Amino acid sequence: MKKIINKNDLILIGVLLVGAILIAGALFMTRKQGKTVVVSVDSKEVASFPLDKDVEYEIKGYEGGRNVLVIKDGIAYMSDASCPDHLCMHMGQIKDAGQSIICLPNRVVIEIKGGKPDQEEYDTLSS
């Protein structure tokens, strides 16, 4: 009877697993805790809140749409929305810089930034 998996296959599987674990660890370790929640409607910033203060904010979306943003215990999420599909409510909770919640029908974007309110962050500077 012929072996299905030989020694070289096991070595390859082991190397791939170690590589995947290293990549996942690097991605997990480089996440930055967000500091500010920025609310935009129709590409215009309408509000920003520190992530460390508990807030419930009603957002007036595009053409009378309505969303409710909740910030609690350093986590932001959409608790209510007037859009028909409620996908923004199912996008989950966000807390790390770069994460976002988007409601397309109401044109609302909730984004976590790493710095203080109204402060831009730079990855690199060049001269």
Per-residue pLDDT of the chain (127 residues), as tens digits, is 677 888 898 999 999 999 999 998 887 776 677 789 999 999 999 999 999 899 999 999 988 999 999 999 999 999 999 999 999 999 999 988 889 999 999 999 999 998 544 445 455 566 5
Q: How many residues does the chain have?
A: 127
Strand partners for 44: 41
Domain extent listing, the chain: 1-30, 36-113
Fold type of domain 36-113: mini-chromosome maintenance (MCM) complex, domain 2 (2.60.320)
Q: Which helix (H) or strand (E) covers residue 11, if one does?
A: helix 7-29
